[in-house]
Structure 1
């Protein structure tokens, strides 16, 4: 909007104010003595002619120059002396000059080499004052927004606490997938895990990783009565690795970004179903060659979703943070509870020491290792060393291991060699070695 020509016309001056020309008690335009006949509107209403002059009492709105389709008026540089223009260079570099001053400065630096050099130097200095900001959204932004919304308005059907980590991790991975381009879906990714006493790996792509999550999550979906993403595809043993390999082989082409839709629909279906069932999470879920209670299966899927999301993020150079502390603690607790069984399996396979003279039966206290997890989601766990059903006893503690929480999870995912994982070790070296290798053996493709 361009400025109006006179104060009386726009009502900003003394003559055009709300009190009229006579002030607070005078007989101005709106005073009692000067009120026009016919009420406050006058003969012509608010837009009609005033008394005797034929002009509207309140001017009609004016059209903007930008809306008229006409060219904008040229800014004519003002004529300023050299020392004034020199003093304006700093303001010009900060874009703080008026249009006329900026035009004068720009015309001047086209003719004055000294001022031109100073202008360039000041512009470069201004860029250093502004911190570069990443265009990538914080991966945790969606979780924080949802947490804030749910604090103010709880969902009508709340997600069980034991299913919240899976809900959060699938949402975080989906946010990552929305940000990558078509070509990045074919970026190479190497899945890593631990077998026997050495590392194992399998080469695939970003889309292949999501297909792997789709098929293994399908074991939980089937346990809840949902459709199996494998369809008519058969896999010997129906274990996680067998399901994934069968799905990859059945695809006529390598998986593409189209796999995201069925994966996300399935994850939504799983969360929605466990929210409506009212089950406490004790229902068994079969992975083919082993079973987990539903609450532990949901934690297992949340853990694997996070681990493979980090694999994808590393492949496409995307920032990715660990889970929230309360979710990370639940994942660590699941791994700690599974360690005695993994240790027993390694003993049966001859990969761990057979146990000391204090070998006890299930339910009795025996030797234990204190697992201390530091950092986010940390805590302490007593790991029984003599039998899967034995009770860890502080009185029979023979070793102490300290690790960072994220480092322990990467050990349990097979991403860190057991020999390099422990930050602190104290006590029975053989027991420490067996527990660290048992933790790595929890990993699978």
Structure 2
């Protein structure tokens, strides 16, 4: 028997003394499927029968591909872009600027459209011309060019003297080369060559040994300016490039790290430039002892620039690295130094019995027999070399011979890298005078 609040599911009216029964909600007709279409309204009266009204659909922006029951996206796949749209994307596709979906659509279209495929090929070739394959290695001259450009636009408050700029530039170039080298390359063998006055001489060392040699000889200029001697207690009693180099090489063998000379050499080079710049032009004629002879400080800086360039080329050859000569203006200063030293070198060779005595005596400052030295190419020029006395003045009126050399060959001869007999030169006039000048040029070289 049911209680007063229970109901058996059948709708019935309450009897006497019973509470009214509330029926449960009936299910909606839509729960069992869509409603059937209404039957067409019968047409009354004359006239054509109107067409049946199509079922109502929501606007396209409100349509959904979801299944009305499950809610899953089972609608048709999106349509591919039109030919016009894909053709407009070819430029971006050639530049690899399309999205992944656009790239896939364009590449699928290219397999079916010959015209677009041909256009895409032309665009891809054009992109290849816009982006040439460049080496990622930095130009070793980049630092010097950037510094030159900066200093040209805003000169420094304390400018570097003109006679010190070649050394500054060549030291910076060599420093850039050394920074690119690994530890194994510092141990690479390097062959140093020079001419001792009679014959070519060679000496084998390493990249570290070359930098130590440069630092030891630069130290002669450093001590003249009051800077510390890099050799310290190991410095020999009598100054001279060869003695100082041998003394440093003896200490270098005890150093386990072959890159050890790099930082001291660079710091000394920078200190030389700073000191010469702050000292001003008053130190240009300061005497620097080179053992058997002395050089004015201005010429000593040019000498160090020349040797830095030459030995940097030796290192570059040993490690197979491209290296360029000095700028034309700097190279001219180096060639000019060598030409000015030739009369003194000729006189020294005569004292050593390596050259014939002078043909005539010339008073100091008077013109004497001269050789016209013509150096062609970058940094070249014309010089008249006094043949009989370093105190004489070379002059065009007293020229007895003419010697023409390329600037690179003249520098290689002055560095002792080629012998006087191997030099290809244009020669006219006294053969003996030409021979003596060629040998004197080679004798400018040393360790």
Which residue is equivalent to 1:19?
Answer: none
Which residue is equivalent to 1:394?
Answer: 396
TM-score (structure 2 length as normaliser) = 0.73
Query: Per-residue displacement from partner, 1:133-184 (whole Å, max 9, x unpaired)?
Result: 2222223222222122222322222222211111121112112212222222
Which residue is equivalent to 1:142?
Answer: 143
Question: Is 2:240 the counterpart of 1:266?
Answer: no
Which residue is equivalent to 1:167?
Answer: 168
Quote the offset at 1:431 in angstroms: 1.1
More moved, 82-91 vs 127-136: 82-91
- Are the aligned partners of 1:281 and 1:294 in contact in 2 as well (CA < 8 Å)? yes
Q: How does 1:1-40 map to 2 (within 5 A)?
A: none
In structure 1, what is the Cα distance between the partners aligned to 2:286 and 2:200?
Answer: 33
Which residue is equivalent to 2:335?
Answer: 332
Which residue is equivalent to 1:211?
Answer: 212
Q: Decide which structure has the larger Cα Rg and report it.
A: 2
Question: Is 2:309 the counterpart of 1:306?
Answer: yes
In structure 2, what is the Cα distance between the partners aligned to 1:201 and 1:108?
Answer: 70
Quote the offset at 1:385 in angstroms: 0.8
Quote the offset at 1:287 in angstroms: 2.1
TM-score (structure 1 length as normaliser) = 0.74
Which residue is equivalent to 1:61?
Answer: none
Query: Per-residue displacement from partner, 1:158-215 (whole Å, max 9, x unpaired)?
Result: 2222111111211121122122222221121111111123211111111111111111
Which residue is equivalent to 1:355?
Answer: 358
Which residue is equivalent to 2:250?
Answer: 249
Instruction: Tell me the number of residue pairs that the alignment of Structure 1 and Structure 2 aligns.
Output: 369
CA 1:126–1:317 in structure 2 vs 1: closer, same or farther (change >3 Å)? farther
CA 1:78–1:405 in structure 2 vs 1: closer, same or farther (change >3 Å)? farther
Q: 1:369 aligns to what SS in structure 2?
A: strand
Which residue is equivalent to 1:342?
Answer: 345
Quote the offset at 1:264 in angstroms: 1.1
Question: Is 2:225 the counterpart of 1:224?
Answer: yes
- Are the aligned partners of 2:239 and 2:289 in contact in 1 as well (CA < 8 Å)? no
TM superposition outliers: structure 1 runs of 4+ over 6 Å? 80-91, 107-112, 118-126
The alignment yields a C-alpha RMSD, in angstroms, of: 3.2
Query: Per-residue displacement from partner, 1:284-341 (whole Å, max 9, x unpaired)?
Result: 1112332111111111111111111111122222222111222111111110010011
Which residue is equivalent to 1:62?
Answer: none
The match for 2:323 among 320, 323, 329 is 320
Unpaired runs of 5+ in structure 2? 1-76
CA 1:364–1:78 in structure 2 vs 1: closer, same or farther (change >3 Å)? farther
In structure 2, what is the Cα distance between the partners aligned to 1:243 and 1:368?
Answer: 36
Which residue is equivalent to 1:43?
Answer: none
In structure 1, what is the Cα distance between the partners aligned to 2:181 and 2:80?
Answer: 53
